[in-house]
Structure 1
């Protein structure tokens, strides 16, 4: 994927509706794909631990060989809000889209790098993945643990920053 090219990000969220939105490619080294996208949800959404709003910019990192993505979130003025991480199957590129299968586990690290929040473990349990695909469920839990460890330095070791 060439830097500056347009791409669609497709988050497959079975059984819930998929989420798709446009982004611009920042880079693709063959393993990691980095895109930049504006907040694609409603004008404002308060999660309790952070509010995403129109004007927020997400720099999203997807790996073809890792079971997660890391999204740096900045407000419209460029101030860091934090990092939102999705546990997913490894990313694939198909038909001009970055395709990731969301596995319901998430992690939020606020900009001040205080304690990371593990999110949506109830949704993960309710998804039935552990019964349908125990190996994938185990990889998902390992990925969440890895994200928590990597969050200690604000993902600098992972993202090279």
Structure 2
């Protein structure tokens, strides 16, 4: 089983990205979690560019989504919404169908980021993604600046993330 993990942050030390990196280590046997690091390479969404030959970065992003059994997002909140880079990435796949009935989980690294969570959930729901509530969790990483190893060493956070990815994989497996 292949799960694509997408961070809404381009910062290398982002707690959202670090949480997703930790998921790669916490995934159960037979589950591969792959961090997609190309959303910053996508051009600004322009429907005129989305014809017979969309930009290469868009083709790659769509292929990564299509090849995934499920997708996990983790995103910071900027100005009460998702960061522009994540919204741009989602705009590129609104009409192409990669999210239709695709299982999706959301890891919220800041329980205060309620607006971004609501916005991301609304966008994904409109795109016909299948949000998996039992695998969508909030973990208290805000202001802690924990690298992947620090997240894995924190038993409470690692247990919550491990349970979420296991629940997500079981849900996908039941299909």
Higher helix share: 2
TM-score by length of 2: 0.30
TM-score by length of 1: 0.32
Higher strand share: 1
